[in-house]
Amino acid sequence: HPPWPPLSRLPVRPSVRPSVLPPPLSDMKEKNPWHTPVTIIITVIGVIAIVALVTVAVLQNKPLLQKYKYGIVLDAGSSHTALYLYEWPAEKDNNTGRVEQIHSCKVKGKGISSYASEPWKAGESLTLCMQEAERWVPSKRHRETPLYLGATAGMRLLNMENSSASDKVFQAVEGALQRFPFSYEGARILSGQEEGAFGWVTVNYLDDRLKQGLETTGALDLGGASTQISFVSDSYDGSESPSNSVTFRLYGNDYNLYTHSFLCYGKDQVLRMVLAQQTQSGPTSILDPCFHPGYNVTKFYSELYDSPCVSDRKPPGAPEAFAHRGDGNFQQCQEVVRTVFNFSSCRYRQCSFNGVFQPHLQGSFGAFSAYYFVMNFLNLTDTSIPLQAVKEKLLQYCATSWDQIVQQHPGVKEKYLAEYCFSGTYILTLLTEGYNFTSENYSNIKFIKKIKGSDAGWTLGYMLNLTNMIPAEAPDSPLLPHAGYVSVVTIMAVVLFVLLILSLRPLWPRCSKQPQIV
Ligand SMILES: Nc1ccn([C@@H]2O[C@H](COP(=O)(O)OP(=O)(O)OP(=O)(O)O)[C@@H](O)[C@H]2O)c(=O)n1
Ligand SMILES: [Ca+2]
């Protein structure tokens, strides 16, 4: 017998709550069983505990207000100086923290070695970029921010030629840098090996290859006065030609790096050598296959031969100047460029050129600085283009008249513009005939400027080394990534809380009788 009348006998009321349901809250005689002081207190304490636990977990592992440290490196190259500003999370100097370039500044004017006769100007030239760095680094970090200056081939040559002049340039630079509130850590000339090795460290650090112990990428750097090649080859253990060997232990891995720096083989000095080759007899005019037809500029013998790379070849009794005229012939240009390489003697198993040992090329390569400027200008950074097609493109480009070139590139400095035919030819010849890249492995080269926002070059590797930012051994990695850790703590806290509530069941107020049907 149903406790209530059958549905058909219920009085029909328009859209009303069936009377079998509990009455509205206001009608209820009993309190909600969860609204007792005990459950309210437990809930509040539980929620506070969970919030506290999660907050501690988050704060403990990752300060919400991330603090950063900074480092500044000045790259005093032969053709120009550039300032690089790096930043990294303050707590993680030497393991998981990643160093990033946050700013760079190109110093106006030429490289510091060009101020040999007026050294104070070398120091002065750095002021604007240094003031910029002062604004970029938060002032309370100024004093602890290390500042380094490294000079490369331009100062190497000046030091060889006139060491007191190079000392004076350094004094001027030092004086200028010490006026800034940073922690000045010195200015010096890097050796060719350092320049090559630190470029390699930079490329592989930015690619995350060192920390992960992956196969490394070789580094090809082309400057104005020297060029570097650095790579790891299984066929090289350092015993053959030890002067080319640099060993590192980084993140628990040993690396035996082959590196060589060719002084005078940066593109500005090679151009001098190529011009020296064409002015051996002291002519008043030359027709240069590496320059565009119609190019015609007066050049001075005294300026051309003012470098240790060519000074001993100055033709005796040469006139003051010569007309440098372009002929635009890639093949003939390559022939002249070849004359700067000496392939005749090698006392090792194998050599690149000038009797310098080079192991078998291995792996991929990143080619940066002037390699990139030139190949990017020529639209030839894509190395999947067959070598033969690259040569054909260059052949066409070199044959284009100077008038047309100037017209087609109104925004490019004429000094740069005039030299891309020569530079492209030199790069191709250096890679294929100097270093022995072939049409098969040419595509292993990548022409790059930046990796993940930081410029490829020796500066980052140099700073990482001097600040001991790459540990020899792999850092202990946390069991869980931060997000996983926080999730686990949260889930555990919620589970514990529910268990607590359940365990307090005996204390729960008993559910009262069903409300009566009215
Ligand atoms: N947009 C640009 C910028 C630079 N260059 C050329 O690139 C060379 C300089 O390359 P860089 O790597 O800056 O050389 P440095 O560091 O100054 O020289 P080094 O490393 O030999 O000391 C110079 O010949 C310069 O004319 C270029 O062709 N196009
Ligand atoms: Ca350089």
pLDDT in tens, 209-250: 999 999 999 999 999 999 999 999 999 999 999 999 999 999
Q: Which of 189, 211, 246 is the last residue of a domain?
A: 189
Residue 363 falls inside a structural domain: yes
Residue 333 falls inside a structural domain: yes
Residue 470 falls inside a structural domain: no
d(CA 498, CA 504): 10
Q: Which pLDDT tens digit goes with each residue over 95-113? A: 656 899 999 999 999 999 9
226 annotated to a ligand binding site:
yes
Atom of ligand 1 at shortest range from CA of 79:
17
Residue 475 falls inside a structural domain: no
Beta strands in 52-99 (DSSP E): 68-76, 81-89
Of the residues 87, 185, 194, 195, which is catalytic?
195
Give the Å distance between the CA of 47 and the centre of ligand 1. Answer: 63
Mean pLDDT of 459-486: 85
Give the Å distance between the CA of 271 and the centre of ligand 1. Answer: 13
DSSP 351: B
d(CA 371, CA 386): 18
**Tokens at residue 140, please?**
């309370």
The best mutation among 78, 79, 166, 226 to test binding of ligand 1, ranked by most ligand atoms within 8 Å of the C-beta, falls on 79
Least confident of 58-62, 138-142, 257-261, 399-403: 58-62
Is the predicted pLDDT of residue 8 greater than 60, yes or no?
no
- Strand bridging mode 245-250 / 226-232: unpaired
Sheet arrangement for strand 321-326: 285-288, 321-326, 296-300
Measured by CA distance, the residue closest to atom 2 of ligand 1 is 373
Is the predicted pLDDT of residue 352 greater than 70, yes or no?
yes
Pair (79, 31) in one structural domain: no
Pair (43, 116) in one structural domain: no
Is the predicted pLDDT of residue 374 greater than 90, yes or no?
yes
Q: Which pLDDT tens digit goes with each residue over 436-445? A: 999 999 999 9
Residue 84 falls inside a structural domain: yes
**Based on the structure, what is the number of domains in the chain?**
3
Residue 484 falls inside a structural domain: yes
Name the region of 468 (left: φ>0; alpha: ψ -120 to 50; beta: rest). left
Pocket of ligand 1 contains residue 493 by CB under 6 Å? no
10 Å CB burial of residue 347 (0-12, 13-18, 19+) is: exposed
Q: How far is CA 141 from CA 70, 136, 146, 182, in A?
A: 8, 10, 10, 8
Pair (88, 46) in one structural domain: no
d(CA 257, CA 456): 18
Is the predicted pLDDT of residue 64 greater than 60, yes or no?
no
Q: Which pLDDT tens digit goes with each residue over 278-319? A: 999 999 999 999 999 999 999 999 999 999 999 999 999 999
**Residue 278: CB partners within 8 Å, gap ≥ 6?**
286, 288, 336
Q: Which pLDDT tens digit goes with each residue over 179-197? A: 999 999 999 999 999 999 9
Q: Model-level pTM greater than 0.95?
A: no
Q: Which of 406, 430, 447 is the last residue of a domain?
A: 447
Pair (302, 394) in one structural domain: yes
Pocket of ligand 1 contains residue 199 by CB under 6 Å? no
pLDDT at 342: 98
Q: Which of 144, 162, 189 is the last residue of a domain?
A: 189
d(CA 406, CA 296): 13
Is the predicted pLDDT of residue 393 greater than 90, yes or no?
yes
Pair (104, 53) in one structural domain: no
Q: Which residues of 324-344 are buried (b: 16+ CB within 10 A; e: fewer)?
A: bbbbbbbebbbebbbebbeee
Q: Of residues 191 and 23, which shows the higher confidence score?
A: 191
CB 440 within 8 A of CB 177: no
Residue 257 falls inside a structural domain: no
CATH code at position 334: 3.30.420.150
Name the region of 58 (left: φ>0; alpha: ψ -120 to 50; beta: rest). alpha
**Residue 175: CB partners within 8 Å, gap ≥ 6?**
123
d(CA 116, CA 102): 32
Pair (100, 166) in one structural domain: yes
Pocket of ligand 1 contains residue 268 by CB under 6 Å? yes
Least confident of 165-169, 194-198, 426-430, 492-496: 492-496
| Average pLDDT of the chain to the nearest whole number | 90
Pair (57, 81) in one structural domain: no
**Tokens at residue 398, please?**
């070199």
326 annotated to a ligand binding site:
no
**Residue 505: CB partners within 8 Å, gap ≥ 6?**
none
Mean pLDDT of 332-338: 98
The best mutation among 74, 373, 376, 449 to test binding of ligand 1, ranked by most ligand atoms within 8 Å of the C-beta, falls on 373
Residue 328 falls inside a structural domain: yes
Q: Which residue has the tokens 């083989």?
A: 265
Pocket of ligand 1 contains residue 224 by CB under 6 Å? yes
Which among 230, 165, 508, 516 is positioned nearest to 368, based on CA atoms? 230
Pair (415, 285) in one structural domain: yes
Pair (347, 409) in one structural domain: yes
Is the predicted pLDDT of residue 512 greater than 60, yes or no?
no
In sequence order, what DSSP letters do the residues of 377-436 get, joined into one string? Answer: HTT---TTS-HHHHHHHHHHHHHS-HHHHHHH-TTS-HHHHHHHHHHHHHHHHIIIIIS-
d(CA 255, CA 247): 6
First to last CA, the chain: 19
Q: Of residues 503 and 282, which shows the higher confidence score?
A: 282
Whether 195 is a known active-site residue: answer yes
CATH code at position 113: 3.30.420.40
- State the ipTM, two decimals: 0.99
Pair (38, 83) in one structural domain: no
pLDDT at 95: 61
Pair (335, 442) in one structural domain: yes
Domain range spanning residue 115? 66-189
Name the region of 9 (left: φ>0; alpha: ψ -120 to 50; beta: rest). alpha
Pair (346, 378) in one structural domain: yes
DSSP 353: S
